Amino acid sequence: MTDSIHKTRMANKKAAVDAKIAKATQERGVLILLKGNGKGKSSSAFGTMARSVGHGKRCAVIQFIKGRMETGEFKFFKDHPLIDWHVMGHGFTWETQNKSLDIIAAQKAWVLAEELLQNERYDMLVFDELSYMFKYQYLDVEPVVAALKKRPAMQNVIITGRTMALPLQEIADTISSVQDERHAFRQGVKAQVGIEF
Ligand code: ATP
Ligand code: MG
């Protein structure tokens, strides 16, 4: 490609990008859903949270399912003055095998989530594995949708989980699906500190 063709193509591209940027004029918080079976949903949510905190934004995390191990991100972020981190669930269903306890834990977590969704002090909320609560019918999705719609205008919310309830998808601003093409676990690699948790 000659320099002049390259220059023309790039000028056209810039005009197209500039036109799109000029159209995006709204200033408001967004609802981001990170779904799919691939690895990278929670780590993306916490990466985005780090980005916000870097700009001095106040954030809160609710982990709706407590893993077996304390995660590196919890250890890293828990004492940060701009972050409130709540580990709420009490384990994976297939490990606890106690549905009524799971439901109580889910409802307690939701009470807190609803409070945070009314609090303008928080610029970003991360609800990790919230979607799982609907899959197992621990929570109804309608009150969650209602609370999300009523939240402060500038508040950003990120929800992660492999499957995402349709009513959440209907009101989301950004939905990214992380596709599972390959995972080391299936090749026999043990879960490791700093990669899996
Ligand atoms: P991460 O926290 O690494 O961003 P995730 O949030 O996308 O992962 P989850 O569905 O929450 O993934 O699963 C959490 C754990 O399971 C992590 O330890 C992750 O490495 C692992 N994992 C994620 N996807 C897969 C997969 N397709 N096969 C096996 N293990 C997976
Ligand atoms: Mg996750």
CA distance 133 to 129: 8
Q: How far is the CA of 40 from the centre of ligand 1 (A)?
A: 7
DSSP 121: T
Whole-model pTM: value is: 0.91
Tokens of 8: 């023309």
DSSP 75: H
Q: What angle do CA 142, 93, 187 make, to 5 degrees?
A: 115
Q: How far is the CA of 15 from the centre of ligand 1 (A)?
A: 40
CATH class of 29-187: alpha beta
Instruction: Judge residue 103's burial from the number of C-beta atoms within 10 Å of its C-beta, 0-12 exposed, 13-18 middle, 19 or more buried.
Output: middle
Question: Which residue's CA is minimally distant from atom 27 of ligand 1?
Answer: 38
Question: Which residue's CA is minimally distant from atom 19 of ligand 1?
Answer: 196
Q: What are the boundaries of each domain within the chain?
A: 29-187
User: Which uninterrupted H or E stretch holds 19?
Assistant: helix 3-23
| pLDDT by position in tens, the chain (length 197) | 788 888 888 888 888 888 888 888 889 999 999 999 999 999 999 999 999 999 999 999 999 998 878 899 999 999 999 999 999 877 666 666 788 888 999 999 999 999 999 999 999 999 999 999 999 899 999 999 999 999 999 999 999 999 999 999 999 999 999 999 999 999 999 999 999 99
Nearest to 154 by CA among 39, 62, 29, 9: 29
- Residue 176 has phi, psi (to 5 degrees) of -120, 135
The pick from 34, 39, 128, 186 for probing ligand 1's pocket by mutation, whose C-beta has the most ligand atoms within 8 angstroms, reads: 39
Q: Which atom of ligand 1 is nearest to the CA of 197?
A: 18
